[in-house]
Amino acid sequence: MISGDLIILSISSLFLIFRSSYTPRLSFDLYIALAPYLLSWFALASAKNAYDLSLSKRDFFKRTILLWFASVSFAEALRFMLKYLVTSNILSISGIVIEIGGISFIYISWKFGSYAVYKISSQPENRNARRRLWISISAAAVIGLLAISPFIYSVIRYSKDIYSLEDAPYAVAALVPGAGVWSDGTPSITMIERVETATNLFRMGKISHIILSGSQYETKVMRQLVEASEINEDSLLLDTHGLSTLDSCINLFQDRAFSSVVVVTQKYHLFRALYLCNSIGIESIGVSAESQAQLPETILRRYIREIGATMVGFIETQARRVR
């Protein structure tokens, strides 16, 4: 159970929404995301014997939950100080609440599950309970495999259709999906990379038009980036109703203005984007906008998000065909 705590805490803390700046820094992210939670939990758990499995279920969880929230409070206080010392900025209250809620849900769920498995496994005479346990575990495994299958399919099917900037074949237009914009109007690194890659394709003569798709706010910022690159405005098209990747593909399909399209986005996103566009009838290839944010936790979180998003996209496209 101790090793399980270590793994769960390490994974969940690396998914915290906090970022040190517009460009993440590995050393700072590791210090402020991982270390406070690991140190605070194991210090309190060791001092208060949080792994005494001889306790009743009620006492075990009462002790675990109290220690956990004491640990969380200490960890967030430490993170607050670290952020201020390193960046001279402070964590927002809403960010702290979201982080505490997210990591607590993951950790408490793990404790309930692992404790139930231990209790059932330690009672060999209770065969019915053990049978139900293994049925539940098997069902969860099957559901998990079904959930990731659309993403696995998209990776296998469309990997050969993803090109680098230099190797990309000619296409009539580039579709650039929207990305995050900070509250002060600064475009995220993700958005900058996508727009820069598309403008480079245009300068190299590999596309004739650039389609910027996203919300009104996103397309406004993307347009400013393109204009700064001195691209001819006649070659620029805006889709202000591309509120999701699927919306961007559907809007492009309904326009029927282009015979061939290259989707320009980061590689982790390209598999889903190509799957959605090709599924609704757009012949498309992809060009990877190389990501500068190569931190392990950033990449891992993005790919895990894509697994869920691809599953949702699969359901939406199938529902669309049924209708």
Contacts with 238 (C-beta within 8 Å, 6 or more apart), sequence order: 211, 212, 213, 219, 223
* pLDDT exceeds 60 at position 316: yes
Binning pLDDT at 50, 70 and 90, where does residue 23 land? very low
Between CA 293 and CA 25 the distance in angstroms is 9
Residues 150-202 have pLDDT tens digits of 999 999 999 999 999 899 999 999 999 998 888 778 888 889 999 999 999 99
> What are the φ/ψ torsions at residue 290 (nearest 5 degrees)?
-55, 130
What DSSP assignment string belongs to 98-123?
A: HHHHHHHHHHHHHHHHHHHHHHHHT-
The mean-pLDDT minimum among 77-91, 151-165, 297-311 falls in 77-91
The helix or strand, by DSSP H or E, that contains position 209, with its residue range, turns out to be strand 209-213
Residues 278-289 have pLDDT tens digits of 988 888 999 999
pLDDT value at position 196?
A: 93
Contacts with 184 (C-beta within 8 Å, 6 or more apart), sequence order: none
The helix or strand, by DSSP H or E, that contains position 47, with its residue range, turns out to be helix 35-47
> What are the φ/ψ torsions at residue 291 (nearest 5 degrees)?
-85, 130
In the chain, what are the domain boundaries?
A: 2-123, 158-297+308-322
- For residues 82, 305, 40 and 24, what is the CA-based torsion angle, rounded to 10 degrees? -20
Q: Measured over all CA atoms, what is the biggest interatomic distance in the chain, rounded to whole angstroms?
A: 77
Between CA 314 and CA 318 the distance in angstroms is 6
Three-state DSSP at 283 gives coil
Between CA 150 and CA 152 the distance in angstroms is 6
The pTM assigned to this predicted structure is 0.68
What DSSP assignment string belongs to 112-163?
A: HHHHHHHHHHT-TT-HHHHHHHHHHHHHHHHHHHHHHHHHHHHHHHHGGGEE
3-state helix, strand, coil in the chain (%, to 5): 65, 10, 25
- Give the mean pLDDT of the chain: 82
Is residue 229 within 8 A of residue 140, CB to CB? The reply is no
The CATH T-level fold of domain 158-297+308-322 is Rossmann fold (3.40.50)
> What are the φ/ψ torsions at residue 50 (nearest 5 degrees)?
-75, 0
| Section 304-320 average pLDDT | 86
Q: Let me know the angle formed at the C-alpha of 49 by 44 and 52, rounded to the nearest 5 degrees.
A: 140
Angle subtended by helix axes 57-87 and 93-121, to nearest 10: 150
